[in-house]
Amino acid sequence: MSGLLLLAAFSVFVGVLIGAAGIGGVLLVPFMVYGLDVGIHGAIPGAMFGYIFAGLMGALLYARHGSIRWNMAGWLILGAMPAAYLGALTASETSSQLLEIAIAGLLLFAGVNALRPSTQQDGVERALAPLALVVIGAVTGYGSALTGTGGPLILVPLLVWLRIPVLTAVGLSQATQFPLAALATAGNVTSGTVDFALGAAIAAGLTLGVAFGAKAAHILSPSVVKTIVAWIIVSVGLFVVARILHPLVV
């Protein structure tokens, strides 16, 4: 019980990062694996279950502020949903070490990419072709379900790299997260890997945190929030790499 309460509390912190900048979800699985000694094949499905509720809350709040471009979100979701289901099935058959390497890579990619100086103007409206959005959605869905990092972690850096304004990118990631996580969870249920007690603790914490984070995103400068989260993620990424390279690192 104490472990679940600690997990719920940490999930609040992760939820704030997801709601504010979209790139905090990758911290959840490493915390469970290295901090709570949860097996990675149990941590990933639990995290994806929690992202269902975080995504729903985030989408509702960002939609209320008019920060979701639904014409783009629909194409992203079209690509993400089937890919998330396949990613979840793949995760259950993938070795723990390979999953940890994938997570470390995503951590470093997301963090370093977020630290890159941006030359775009956040108020400028930009668009991507439907086919490009479907492909981006598929990459996001598969990678997120495979690693348990949540859609925003992969989608936001990709969209920012493609010069989509930060707030627009985070809003799109919130809209995509709910259907993506739902299909990934369906795949995890099929493979029998979902611990619903674990998932419920995560869901409760993430939902509360996302509510605070979404509010902060519309008050604070997106670049400031992104920089803070980026340094946190790079630090955790280096820690995971150290664990992979040297099992004695604590």
The domain tally of the chain equals: 1
- Residue 218 to residue 241: CA distance in whole angstroms: 34
Is 204 inside any structural domain?
Answer: yes
pLDDT tens digits along 17-37:
888 777 677 788 888 988 898
Residue (of 209, 139, 216, 208) closest to 180 by Cα position: 139
Measured between alpha carbons, how far is residue 56 from residues 105, 177, 207, 211 in Å? Answer: 27, 8, 8, 10
Tell me how far apart the terminal alpha carbons of the chain are, to the nearest angstrom.
24
Is 250 inside any structural domain?
Answer: no
Predicted pLDDT at 40: 86
pLDDT tens digits along 190-249:
887 888 999 999 999 999 999 988 887 777 766 676 677 677 767 767 776 776 676 544
Tokens found for residue 190: 């099929």
Tokens found for residue 53: 């509720």
pLDDT tens digits along 98-149:
877 777 777 777 677 767 766 555 455 567 899 999 999 999 899 888 888 7
Is 58 inside any structural domain?
Answer: yes
Is 94 inside any structural domain?
Answer: yes
Domain hosting residue 109, numbered range:
2-245
Residue (of 93, 83, 15) closest to 52 by Cα position: 15
Is 59 inside any structural domain?
Answer: yes
The values of phi and psi at residue 237, to 5°, are -60, -45
Burial class (CB in 10 A: 0-12, 13-18, 19+), 119: exposed
Residue (of 115, 102, 97) closest to 231 by Cα position: 115
Helix (H) or strand (E) holding 167: helix 166-191
**What region does 127 belong to: left with phi over 0, alpha with psi -120 to 50, or beta?**
beta
- Residue 4 to residue 145: CA distance in whole angstroms: 22
Cβ-proximal residues to 209 (8 Å cutoff; 6+ apart), any chain = 11, 12, 13, 14, 15, 16, 17, 18, 19, 54
Could you tell me how far CA 153 lies from the centroid of its own chain?
4
- Residue 193 to residue 177: CA distance in whole angstroms: 20
Is 184 inside any structural domain?
Answer: yes
Cβ-proximal residues to 201 (8 Å cutoff; 6+ apart), any chain = 4, 5, 7, 8, 11, 50
Average pLDDT over residues 185-189: 90
Is 211 inside any structural domain?
Answer: yes
DSSP at 248: T
Give residue 109's identity as a one-letter amino acid code: F
Burial class (CB in 10 A: 0-12, 13-18, 19+), 117: exposed
Predicted pLDDT at 191: 81
Contact 14, 24 (CB under 8 A): yes
Residue (of 201, 199, 209) closest to 12 by Cα position: 209
Contact 116, 217 (CB under 8 A): no
Predicted pLDDT at 2: 82
Is 19 inside any structural domain?
Answer: yes
